[in-house]
Structure 1
Amino acid sequence: MAFSIPETIRTTATAGERLLFRTLKTYLPDDYIVYYEPEIRGKRPDFVIIGPDLGLVVLEVKDYTKNTLYQLNPDEWTIVNTSGEQTTVKSPLRQARDNVFHLVDVLKKDRNLIQLEGKYKFQLKFPYGFGSVYTRLHQKDFIQHDLYRVVNPDLCLTRDEIDPDHVSFSEEVLIEKIMNMFVVPYRLREPLSHEDINAIRYHLFPEVRISAEFKQPSPYQDQLLLSLHDIKAMDLHQENLAKQIGDKNRIIRGVAGSGKTLILASRAKLLAKKHPDWNILILCYNISLSRTIEQMIHHMMNEPDSLFDFDFTAKDITSPNNHSIVVRNFHSWLRNDLRISGAQLPSILRKLEEGEAILPMYDAILIDEGQDFEADWFKLVSNLLNPVTKSLLLVEDRAQSIYKRARSYIQDTGLDFRGRSKILSINYRNTAQIVEFAWEFYKEHSALRDKVVSKDFEDEIISPQSTRRKGLQPAIYKADSFYHEVNMVTKQIQKLKAEYKVPYSEMLILYRVRKTYKMDYVATLIDALEKAGVPHFWLTKDTDSKRSYKKDDERVIISTIDSSKGLDFQAVFVINVDNIPFPLEEDKEREASLLYIAMTRAKDFLCLSYSDESEYTRYFTNLLEERMKEKKETISG
């Protein structure tokens, strides 16, 4: 079964479009992608099919009957509508041809997607084609009315060829005809790779872009070409969710690393493009996450559809917004936008309900890390949401909840989320080893571990499923003293930089406690980094440092675990684990969630270190001993 985007076809689609959608989705191979009416640079082809052993095919669908057709030639058709009026339009094949060449012109600008030598130099390295589909005409109609005279039989599909209920339908014939709808004389030498298909999606659908390494367009034998590397795009499930969340109020529950923030930002961009007059607000709890989302939105909204128009010299992410999306952490929103304090919130809510207060209204509000919001915060949000649009998107992960919040979304917002939720259980951020390591710890130490996902239950914890991405086992380091601990961390940072080419900006050091009467942990850490010549930025030194944070600075980041929520780095060091659970913290559930959050910030490398003992370090020491035992058994065996 092919992967379709959207997952289901819209109810206003024609009967013929719905039939073709079901047939393509059911009978094409699993590794094919079928797009229905995608918006691509101002055009909307009916169907776009991408397959690793196929290439790219565009289909134009028509529900014409014999009585519709009046006068036909290969370029123009005169058709008769139900009122008897005649209209001259482009022929379906010409429409499909124009659409596919529109796509090809975009893709041919990428050096990695074209042939650089030989007879077909500067052509795409994969075949592309087009066809037309006639959902109410059969092959016998084409023969009887001599339609094959103006419609190439190799480039069209009739009702009996797309309807599985028709006696002459054949899955083999359907696939063979689509495989041969090509206008280029060459075929694929080898299947398109995952990277090739990601590159195609990256160019055609800007909304799926995450990042890529690319240099300024450069001339190659009189051709101006782009050179992209390390392309990262939303996976197909994330793309589907971002495009098909639906209107009104929605909730997304996702595990750490499932791309919740990315989908939220993409959704905001789609809303801004669709409704340029809307006031759109994105809220989250912590300052550093709001800064990250702000940078993400800025990049998304300022990236042109054509990368040839991209300003490669632009470095400043603080330039004025040219969009209607405002990103705030909740308290700065209260203070700077609404001009109220947290203490005033109860009285403001009463005045809003009684119609005595006027505050800004928003056409769409998107909330990240919603598990950290209080009931009154949701009540305020719902009061300032346009009652016509009711466009509220709530994103959360209860396993990352670090604040006790008693809530009912229906009661707090006045909106019913039942049947309006999506669950993301696949972790894309972390390696399988990190996912398993973090989740096993969480199950062992969280009181919420036994809660089972239920569509109608608001407080469930979602068990993560890992991607197939493999990596190193998370490191556990038991030191004799905190001085030895930070020296080890410093050496590992230098090793990651030298041997694994991990940028300093992709390294994060997390701490639970800044200092005690025994030691100033952060000061000791910074001293070790400075002596080793490792550039660093203390993110959580104060409010100003949080607001000035830029991830692309070439410095190792130092942060509390709380402020790391929503962020991710290639390498994460969690130091001083013996201070977790913190003795003065009564809520042990919060402590388990905090360490789970810390571990799941790491994409590739994770290291936990400690020099004293706590409930959690005893767990990790046992793991360390088990590893040593297994290693000895392997050597002796």
Structure 2
Amino acid sequence: MADRVIQPPLAELDRLPTPLNDGEALVVSFFHDHLPDGWEIYIQPFLNGNRPDLVLFNSACGVAVFEVKHWDFDSKEFFVDRTGDAPQLSARDHNGRRVRVDERMRNPFPQVTRYRRQIYGLYCPRHRTAFGNVARLPMTAGLIVTSATTQRVRELFEPLRDDAAQREPELYPVAGFNDLRPERIEKVFPLCRRPASQPMDSDLAEDLRGWLREPAFSQEQRNPPELDGIQRRIATTRTNTGLRRVKGPAGSGKSVALAARAAELADTGKRVLVCSYNITLLNYLRDLTRQYARTAGKQRPEIEFVNFHAWCQRICADADGIEKLDRLLTQHSRDELFDEVMPNRAETLLRDSDRADGLPRYDAILVDEGQDFRLNWWSALRAALAEGGEMLLVADKTQNVFGTAKAWTEGAMPGSGFPGGEWMTLEHSYRLPPKMIHLLRTYADEFLVGEDVDIPVIEQGELDMYPVALKWIQTQPQQAVAASVEAVLEQMRGLQSHAAATDVISLGGKRVGLDVVNSLEALDIRVRHTFDDRRNAGRERQLKRQFFQGAERVKATTLHSFKGWEAVQLVVHVSTVRSKEDRAVLYAALTRLKRRAEGSALTVVCSTPDLAEYGRTWPSYEETVTKTAVAWPDSRR
């Protein structure tokens, strides 16, 4: 059926990060060709924390979730083991020896039943309740095994059915490959032609589609970014000295060019270190290298992605031993340790010919968000560069959230190895909607006076090409959590056909951020986040390493941790802009919005009165409280 809704599109299935196996491809083709009109197909949807194989949806008939198994029945014999507390699927090889069966395969019915329950529990923001509380449609939870006959599948799985599956077999169908024929589609999916007694209203249908649609970031992973001339030079060439530095405003493609260079070098067998101060940025850079056009989707073991201080600790541990490193960690304050002691020790070890054996050497070292680095950090990295290697540093001085940029990224940078003071410059923003650039310029004129500011240039003719919903909500501190949660739900209600619920990302401080996460999860909206309620630094680092675009959930993190990232649906909470660093952090957060031809959205929830006048310059402004602005503790000028 040519006009059937199917996501991802059939023509792009061969470019999925996790390709369909033969059985899954067979079932998708079967349903696409033979389901009645009105049925939509969602392949491996990002379902609030889970990834079922297939979800089918028809607002007039119902919802179905199918698990598809393509097991090898030739290499092993499957049978039902009844010796334990409950029957489970087991297998033996041709010699009669028991072989391990993956835990998820021992009984697929609990898995598909869990997906069914989860769909019923999905929060529907337009109705402000769970899907199952208002939907009156049947929900099918089926199993299809494409490598065995239906008779064999039923013999195997009939003993594994739970009580619900036995009571309502039409809602829990089981099928094998011989049923995948047009005339037998109702054997595979008994309710596919049966209209529901009460069709779903359009708002509820859109709420469900928001959970089923493929997220924007997943779509973009199949479409490698295009490089302009300067970005292509960065990706494919090197300087005579091997050292190069690049500056540019937010959204100008610095990270894209860096990732492309890393991929190019890895393709020639070079050992590459990609380094940043921000832990969460590394996952984003890893995704970009996989997205690079020449070898899209390829895993790149030649590239090491590492946070700078984790790298320093590893160098010290490898050369000095764990006990000496532990003593070092306890003898200094955190700032002393991270700013000076550990980087300097790492450099000393790498330059000591008697101690450097076995320590890593890299053909290329690439540093993103270089404005966060100190000169001695760069010097430590240079000590790990192999002879004849190359180094690249990219920076945006306007995003100077740690106050380090002026210390060494201006002028000739004495001692850094760069000849003279020249930078390669990227000027145009390929990420930000043009309307957002105007608001950034207004913000910089008022709040970044006296700072080094690099605002993106708007290319002629762009203004109306990228629709964007820009909203400012001025509120009180005690209302910040509720306003932020409502802003997230409002964006979920406003999703268009190009975006999904899991595209929505919430940014804020740790206290408010964690409260927002808890409020969303109380609605059964699962959130991938970086907040730890026990304020355990080790746990927070672990959460940051697990924070990535491909997570099957709504996401939340701090403004600092999202530096270098981008999103098409963004909610930002700001509570203070009193220090220079506060104002730089907010600027960085506002520049995370990514433009799309289909549209994007940014909502700012502001609980400081110091920004109220600026907020009134936004296209949409709401005020829940009026409060007199307080005096600035330090001059903005």
Could you tell me the TM-score, scaled by structure 2's length?
Answer: 0.52
Is the 8 Å Cα contact of residues 251 and 429 (structure 2) preserved in structure 1? yes
Q: Do the aligned residues in 2 keep the contact of 1:338 with 1:360 (CA within 8 Å)? A: no
Is 1:508 the counterpart of 2:509? The answer is no
Partner of 2:563: 565
Q: CA deviation at 1:607?
A: 0.8
CA shift in 2, pair 1:357/1:616, >3 Å: farther
Is contact 1:211–1:231 with CA below 8 Å preserved after alignment? no
Equivalent residue for 2:227, pick from 234, 245, 250:
234
Contact 1:375 1:412 in 2 (8 A): no
Q: CA offset at residue 427 of structure 1?
A: 0.7
Shift of 1:411: 5.3
Q: State the match for 1:261 in structure 2.
A: 255
Q: CA shift at 1:253, angstroms?
A: 0.3
Change (3 A) 1:417 1:572: farther
**Residue 396 (structure 2) aligns with:** 397
Q: In structure 1, the residue corresponding to 2:556 is in which secondary structure?
A: strand
Deviations 1:544-582 (A, max 9, x none): 11111231223111111100011101011112x2x1226
Aligned residues: 364
Unaligned runs of 5+ in 1: 1-209, 215-227, 312-320, 452-460, 516-520, 583-587, 629-637
For residues 276-291 of structure 1, the aligned pairs below 5 Å read 276=269, 278-291=270-283
Distance in 2, Cα, partners of 1:229 & 1:291: 17
Residue 328 of structure 1 is aligned with which of 303, 306, 309? 306
The CA distance in 2 between the partners of 1:572 and 1:346, in whole Å, is 39
Note if contact 2:347-2:381 (Cα within 8 Å) is conserved in structure 1.
no
Superposed CA offset, 1:587-613 (max 9, x none): x22111100111111112111113x43
Structure 2 residue runs without a partner (length 5+): 1-215, 318-324, 330-337, 533-539, 595-599, 624-637
8 Å contact kept, 2:234–2:258: no
Counterpart for residue 407 of structure 1: 408
In structure 2, the residue matched to 1:445 is: 447
Query: 2:246–2:395: 8 Å Cα contact kept in structure 1?
Result: yes
Aligned 8 A contact 1:369 1:395 in 2: yes
Once the 2 structures are TM-superposed, how far is the Cα of residue 328 of structure 1 from its aligned partner? 0.6
Residue 430 of structure 2 is aligned with which of 424, 428, 431?
A: 428
Cα separation, 2, equivalents of 1:599 and 1:327:
26
For 1:360 and 1:415, how far apart are their aligned partners in 2?
Answer: 21
Give the aligned partner of residue 85 of structure 2. Answer: none
Match of 2:587 in 1: 596
The residue type equivalent to 1:283 in the other structure is C
Hey, what's the Cα distance between the residues in 2 that align with 1:544 and 1:564? Answer: 15
The structural deviation recorded for 1:270 is: 1.5
The match for 1:617 among 596, 612, 617 is 612
The 1:356/1:482 distance shift into structure 2, 3 A limit, reads same
Distance, in Å, in 1 between the alignment partners of 2:217 and 2:622 is: 37
Q: Aligned partners of 2:619 and 2:226: how far apart in 1?
A: 37
Report the Cα offset of residue 356 of structure 1.
5.3
Q: Is the 8 A contact 1:249 1:420 kept in 2?
A: no
Mapped partners of 1:367, 1:344: distance in 2: 18
Q: Within the alignment, does 1:606 sit opposite 2:602 as a pair?
A: yes
1:322-349 superposed Cα distances (whole Å, 9 cap, x missing partner):
5421111101111235526643433454
Task: Spell out the pairing of 1:163-174 with structure 2 (5 A cutoff).
Answer: none
Q: 1:523 to 1:304 in 2, by over 3 A?
A: closer
Contact kept in structure 2, 1:212 and 1:229, CA below 8 Å: yes
CA contact (8 A) 1:250 1:420 kept: no
* Residue aligning to 1:491: 489
Counterpart Cα distance in 2 of 1:530 and 1:250: 46
Residue of structure 1 equivalent to 2:525:
534
Q: Answer whether contact 1:362 1:384 (CA < 8 A) is retained.
A: yes
Q: Which residue of 2 aligns with 1:129?
A: none
1:104-253 pair list within 5 angstroms: 213=219, 232-247=225-240, 248-253=242-247
Q: Distance in 2 between matches of 1:231 and 1:386?
A: 30
For 2:285, which of 282, 289, 293 is the aligned residue? 293
Aligned 8 A contact 1:496 1:502 in 2: no
Question: Is this contact kept in 2: 1:251–1:417, CA < 8 A?
Answer: no
Output the CA distance in 2 between the equivalents of 1:490 and 1:560. Answer: 15
1:295: Cα distance to partner? 3.1
Report what 1:37 is aligned to: none
Supply the distance in 2 between the matched residues of 1:256 and 1:607 (Cα, whole angstroms).
18
Q: Deviations over 1:516-537 (max 9, x none)?
A: xxxxx23431243234443321
- Partners in 2 of 1:233 and 1:547 — Cα distance? 28
Q: CA offsets per residue over residues 140-177 of structure 1, 9 Å max, x none? A: xxxxxxxxxxxxxxxxxxxxxxxxxxxxxxxxxxxxxx
Corresponding residue of 1:547: 545
Per-residue CA deviation, residues 3-42 of structure 1 (Å, 9 max, x unaligned), is: xxxxxxxxxxxxxxxxxxxxxxxxxxxxxxxxxxxxxxxx
Distance 2:543 2:415 in 1: 33
* 8 Å contact from structure 1 (residues 505, 551) kept in 2: no
Answer yes or no: is the 8 Å Cα contact 2:280–2:562 preserved in 1. Answer: yes
**2:385 aligned counterpart, secondary structure:** coil
Q: Deviations over 1:430-472 (max 9, x none)?
A: 10011221232123111344x5xxxxxxxxx423113424323
Aligned counterparts of 1:625 and 1:568: Cα–Cα separation in 2: 22
Tell me the distance in 2 between the aligned counterparts of 1:242 and 1:349. Answer: 28
Q: Deviations over 1:386-430 (max 9, x none)?
A: 2433x1111000001111222267556541243653111111111
Q: Distance in 2 between matches of 1:232 and 1:353?
A: 39
Report matched runs for 1:575-586 at 5 Å: 575=573, 577=574, 579-581=575-577
| Alpha-carbon distance in structure 1 between the residues aligned to 2:501 and 2:217 | 18
Matched residues in 1 for 2:577 and 2:217: separation?
A: 37
- CA separation in 1, counterparts of 2:372 and 2:420? 20
- Correspondence 1:466 to 2:458: yes
Matches within 5 A, 1:15-164: none
What is the identity, as a one-letter code, of the residue corresponding to 1:392?
Answer: M
Same amino acid, percent of matched pairs = 21
Q: Does structure 1 conserve the Cα–Cα contact (< 8 Å) formed by 2:472 and 2:621? A: no
Task: After superposition, give the CA deviation of every residue in 1:354-408 in whole Å (9 maximum; x if it has no partner).
Answer: 655414322211100010011210111122222433x111100000111122226
Distance 1:346-1:491 versus aligned 2 partners, 3 A rule = closer
Query: Which of 463, 467, 471 does residue 475 from structure 1 map onto?
Result: 471
CA distance in 2, matches of 1:253, 1:261: 11
| 1:381 match | 381
Question: Partner amino acid for 1:256?
Answer: A
Q: Deviations over 1:609-634 (max 9, x none)?
A: 13x43322343246579999xxxxxx
- CA distance change for structure 1 residues 506 and 605 in 2, over 3 Å: closer, same or farther? same
2:264 corresponds in structure 1 to: 270
* Displacement of 1:268: 1.2
Instruction: Identify which of structures 1 and 2 has the higher relative contact order when contacts are C-alpha pairs closer than 8 Å and 6+ apart.
Output: 2
Counterpart of 2:562, as a letter, is: S
CA-based RMSD of the aligned residues comes to 3.3
Worse-matched range after superposition: 344-353 or 559-568: 344-353
Structure 1 partner of 2:160:
none
CA 1:323–1:595 in 2, change beyond 3 Å: closer, same or farther? Answer: same
Secondary structure, counterpart of 2:245 in structure 1: strand
